[in-house]
Structure 1
């Protein structure tokens, strides 16, 4: 009766599971109660009063997409770092709480000073892991609000903006020609050369090798 993509939701403290007659593969994601409570508190309103019940055989394309993205990163030894995992976890929490379709209060936004602080902090920390909690403290806003307001202000999610800035920094360093590709990857916050090459190809259509070959002799 089960198909690829079926989802079981099992709240903390409740028993789940089922019997099968044939082997199967599954992805199990555990969201900490503290994460659910934080997201609910940040978004407020119905979220705090909405109980989660055990449900089986759910179908939800967004949850599937988020789960596959997290699985791919874990299988690659989590090269995207804590900001990516934080973002996926929070997005799953929002989806499960049923709040993803609520309108953001358009009167609220990052002030120029808040946005400047966040952008400067990202620029100074491109070489190290950046988390949504760390950036929300810099902004002086909740992590849920920061995600929505940052995208409204820049047109990019936080995760994608950080990746684009890391790629740009890497391109500048590679063009200098005095550092190895592994050194550039480390200085720009990528887990390894392959991680850097993957995102350079996606963002600018060139790998580090392509970029070096295009440089004048």
Structure 2
């Protein structure tokens, strides 16, 4: 499954990017940027794909957004803007400030599946504020900047939840939160267990069960009590426990075998789930 590549054209004047991170998947690309903006700084941006622009921290000076002359939003606070594909967005800063923001570039096909065929995809929405959406955006930003990123299932689930909260998904809440039928649940669990040591995308599980990503994620949690990425992490730890008991493999070897980035990452997650380090668990009697 090919990673999504954003198609953005930009012009910046007085805006200096000082740090940036990126995570890509099949459904979209998440970018986290920190920039310093001089007084009077401006930017002009247009993308061939829809995107969500989220200001994560309050600004020291007002920022004005203009959407092709039709809408204007001025703000110094956190907020998110939905920008449809092909819509030009301009920004201007009334004073010097630093800005930390998230750019979520989205596959139009994936977004249409998420929120349905309606006018929401064609209408810009500038600097809206919703605490749940902003909280999800900050979690996604933390995952994006993490030196030891969690499995792709986590980022995919966060992205789907953020878009649902920001856009108002059209899938009825009652249907989304119903549990998975046993046949689909067994298929999803079997797939996660068999592939737990490699990155799994939420889209793989959605395709397997014939559901949208958002619907599957909510239904899986309703059926099991945990989100898909947590189930995968627990499956990795169960596999690690089996290896710890029946082999003399080193912790580094077991970490690699079970899909962790390194031995410290493995130890940290093992302790979080089991309550002891892998070495202490292996040495315990019984």
Instruction: Assess same fold via TM > 0.5.
Output: yes
How far the C-alpha of 1:28 sits from its partner, in A, is 2.0
| Partner residue in 1 for 2:83 | 11
Could you tell me how far apart the structure 1 residues matched to 2:176 and 2:154 are? 26
- Count of aligned positions: 208
Map 1:204-215; keep pairs closer than 5 Å: 204-212=274-282, 214-215=283-284
Please point out which of 22, 34, 44 is paired with 2:96: 22
How far the C-alpha of 1:99 sits from its partner, in A, is 3.4
Q: Point out the structure with the larger helix share.
A: 1
The TM-score with structure 1 as length reference comes to 0.81
Map 1:101-180; keep pairs closer than 5 Å: 102-105=172-175, 109-180=179-250
Please point out which of 115, 137, 144 is paired with 1:40: 115
Could you tell me how far apart the structure 2 residues matched to 1:210 and 1:16 are? 56
Please tell me whether the aligned partners of residues 217 and 227 of structure 2 are also in contact (alpha carbons under 8 angstroms).
yes
Unpaired runs of at least 5, structure 1: 42-46
SS at match of 1:87: helix
How far the C-alpha of 1:177 sits from its partner, in A, is 4.6
Q: Which has the larger radius of gyration?
A: 2
The answer on 1:188 being equivalent to 2:258 is yes
Please tell me whether the aligned partners of residues 190 and 196 of structure 1 are also in contact (alpha carbons under 8 angstroms).
yes
Q: Answer 1 or 2: higher relative contact order, Cα 8 Å, separation at least 6.
A: 1
Unpaired runs of at least 5, structure 2: 1-56, 60-76
RMSD after superposition: 2.8
Q: Point out the structure with the larger strand share.
A: 2
Could you tell me how far apart the structure 2 residues matched to 1:79 and 1:11 are? 27
Please tell me whether the aligned partners of residues 82 and 130 of structure 1 are also in contact (alpha carbons under 8 angstroms).
yes
